[in-house]
Structure 1
Amino acid sequence: MGLFSKSKKVNEYEEASNNLNNEATTLASERVIFEQIQDDDERAAFLVDQMKLGSPLIINFEKLPIMGVNKLLAFFAGACYAVDGNTVKINDYTYCFARKEEFSDGSLNELLHQI
């Protein structure tokens, strides 16, 4: 072995990607967060962060006044649009917000049809 031999460099991003591929994956329907939402901006922001991390949201707005419903529905729909996601109306007061990736395994669609 020479004095200036090449050492094998490990690319951090490549290693992290390999670790992601080796982890056990869960179905989207197992990561769903069901929430009876209140007019709480901090909680809404937390839920959007969870959606960005891969947890589909099923949010019920029934206990809010119409102004609160409009505000939070626009917030969640905008956040969903920003991550190239889908918004599904379940009934007049309940909606599902999720990234497109969560719909790919079919388990989330199956769950929505059961509701």
Structure 2
Amino acid sequence: MKVKIKKKFNNIEFSEYNNKEKGGKKRSSLLTSFDRMEYSIVTDNSKDTLFHICDTILSGRAVLANFDKLDPEDANDMLNFISGVVYATEGKIFQIDEKIFLFGRKEEFEDGSLYQYVEDTK
């Protein structure tokens, strides 16, 4: 006698952060915040580089910045300035590695894709 086993699949929504019934916002794009994230390898401590990272954050895109090629003092100066921008937008900063940081406004974290990235890199 053979027994049939039915597999039950969970119905998983893309993101519980985007549920309208729970007060989530309607997304205007099919891309997640992770898909729209900009990766930046910081090689100099110029104001142009610093302002480019800050402008990207302010424009609604998360930034994954690698400060590996910068000396610690210059990297800390840039981190202080970027941290102020992130704080002003009620955003979040995650340290992914020793010299790699993820910056984003609170709106970029609402879809859950950036939180998932942070968890996956641990």
Q: Which residue among 53, 61, 80 is the counterpart of 2:67?
A: 61
The structure 1 segments of at least 4 consecutive aligned residues displaced by more than 3 Å after TM superposition are: 21-25
1:88 and 2:94 are equivalent in the alignment? yes
Displacement of 1:25 after TM fit? 4.3
- Deviation string 1:84-110 (CA, Å, 9 cap, x unpaired) is 110111121011110011111111111
Gap runs ≥5 in structure 1:
1-20
> Aligned partners of 1:22, 1:114: CA distance in 2, in Å?
24
Q: Runs of 5+ in structure 2 lacking a partner?
A: 1-25
Query: Could you say what the CA RMSD is over the residues aligned between the two structures, in angstroms?
Result: 1.6
Query: Is it true that 1:97 corresponds to 2:109 in the alignment?
Result: no
Aligned counterparts, 1:39-78, within 5 A: 39-78=45-84
Q: Which has the higher helix share?
A: 1
d(CA) in 1 for partners of 2:110, 2:81: 24
Structure 2 length as normaliser, TM-score?
0.71
Deviation at 1:26, TM superposition (A): 2.4
Aligned with 2:82: secondary structure? helix
105, 114, 120: which one pairs with 1:108? 114
Pair 1:22–1:89, CA change in 2 (3 A): closer
Sequence identity percentage: 26
TM-score, normalised to structure 1, is 0.75
| Equivalent position of 1:18 in the other structure | none
Deviation at 1:46, TM superposition (A): 1.5
Paired position in structure 1 for 2:23: none
Distance apart, 1:36 and its partner CA? 0.9
Q: Tell me which amino acid in the other structure corresponds to 1:60.
A: N
Q: Which of structures 1 and 2 has the bigger CA Rg?
A: 1
State the AA in 2 paired with 1:24.
S
Equivalent position amino acid for 2:62 in 1: P
